[in-house]
Structure 1
Amino acid sequence: MNTTGRPRSGSRAALRASIALIVFVAAGFGLFMADAQNRYLWVKALHVIAVISWMAGLLYMPRLFIYHLDQTVGSEASETFKVMERRLLTIIMTPAMVLSWIFGLWMAIEIFHFQGLWLHLKLLAVMGLTGTHVYMAHAVNRFGSDQRIGTSRSWRLFNEAPTVLMIVIVILVIVKPFG
């Protein structure tokens, strides 16, 4: 609670995100009770929603690090960036990554039976995205303890990794160049 007796904005944001996540997961589990013909389309839709959310975080986090690097350690702005980075990671990115994996693996098992070189290459690229996520989580922890990690230039370059992996993944899924 703040001095006005109202919940802090972070508490409200976490509550809203938790409710959204619960609804999303409940919808996902409800799908397993749906008829088999429509289940794939619903799982695919939820997978795409989760991936878009995850990608948004993967593309935004390096920008936050760049802006954070410009702030003086201990300043109000630096403390604000710590909160923004932690919330982006824990409320959006990590749940979206987990849901992307859950729905993606369901499709890989149930629909594609782990068949096709395109699927194996896609999974390899998704592991690359997961690696970038883990590295950013490490950076959030470092920034959170006032350790500067990287430079503005290195984070601008690092920001290209999720973009390149996303392009590869989309081509593999849509074109399926390797059958």
Structure 2
Amino acid sequence: MLYLYLKALHIIFVVTWFAGLFYMPRLFIYNTEANKKPEIVRNALQEQFTIMMKRLWFGITWPSALLTLVLGLTVMVLSGYHKLLLQPEGSWLLIKLIFVLFLYIYFLIEHRIFLQQSKGIFRYTSQQLRIWNEIATIFLVAIVMLVVVKQNMSAVWGLVGLILFIIVLMSAIKIYKLLRKS
């Protein structure tokens, strides 16, 4: 019974963590685009965006990332999945954990961008940040597919599907850019 509550909490914190991962780059984009405004407007906007970013990052995203990690490892051990990691039937879990590792790297890079923007350093264009915003979506799709489909997923078709999904996302970003210019 405890296992099910811990699993539910893990899923809840995954959702809140992703909410932060999805919204934070939007704030990066708005903060970056504020640089094109007149000084008085720019200063007011960037001050507000910095407050919003700090509250989102430290109030929701970081705590959720930590709780996701702790609860995920706990659920994995309680369910016995950790014993499958190096078994053929556990290859889905190993691949999922690799994606999760890359997601945490993405998260830490997002933290670096947050720190830079908090100091008034803008290294990326709003277009680059729009692309960055979609990387979390790619991780979400890959991880959820692996968790739900598990060993029933063909590695080849899973990879082909992920590549096609990435192509569709990048095309959508390009189309959106063209629509914004016109």
TM-score scaled by structure 2?
Answer: 0.74
The answer to whether residue 52 in structure 2 is matched with residue 84 in structure 1 is yes
The structural deviation recorded for 1:113 is 2.6
CA drift of 1:114 comes to 4.0
Please give the alpha-carbon distance, in whole angstroms, between the structure 1 residues aligned to 2:48 and 2:83: 44
* Among candidates 71, 78, 93, match of residue 110 of structure 1: 78
1:141 aligns with 2:108: no
Partner of 2:133: 159
Offset from partner CA, 1:127-175 (integer Å, 9 cap, x none): 1111111111111110111111211111111111110111111011111
Residues 67-107 of structure 1: CA distance to partner in whole angstroms, max 9, x if unpaired?
00111476011111111111111110000000000111012
| Counterpart AA for 1:132 | Y
Distance in 2, matches of 1:117 and 1:94, equals 29
Seq. identity, % = 35
- C-alpha distance in structure 2 between counterparts of 1:39 and 1:107, whole Å: 10
Cα pair 1:117 1:178 within 8 Å, conserved: no
Normalising by structure 1, we get a TM-score of: 0.75
- Structure 2 unaligned regions, length at least 5: 85-89, 154-182
Which of 131, 137, 145 is equivalent to 1:171? 145
Q: Residue 146 of structure 1: SS of its match in structure 2?
A: coil
Residue matched to 2:165:
none
The one-letter code matched in structure 2 to 1:176 is K
Structure 2 distance, partners of 1:143, 1:159, is 16
Q: Which SS does the other structure have where 1:70 is aligned? A: helix
Runs of at least 4 residues off by over 4 Å: none
Alignment gaps of 5+ in structure 1: 1-37
Q: 1:133 and 1:87, CA in 2 relative to 1: closer, same or farther beyond 3 A?
A: same
What is the CA–CA distance in structure 2 between the aligned matches of 1:120 and 1:108, rounded to whole Å? 12
CA RMSD of aligned residues (A): 1.5
Count the aligned residue pairs: 142
Output one character per residue of 1:44-89: Cα deviation in whole Å (capped at 9) or x when no partner: 1000000000000101111101100111476011111111111111
Cα distance change, pair 103–153 in 1 and its aligned pair in 2 (3 A): same
Larger fraction in helix: 2
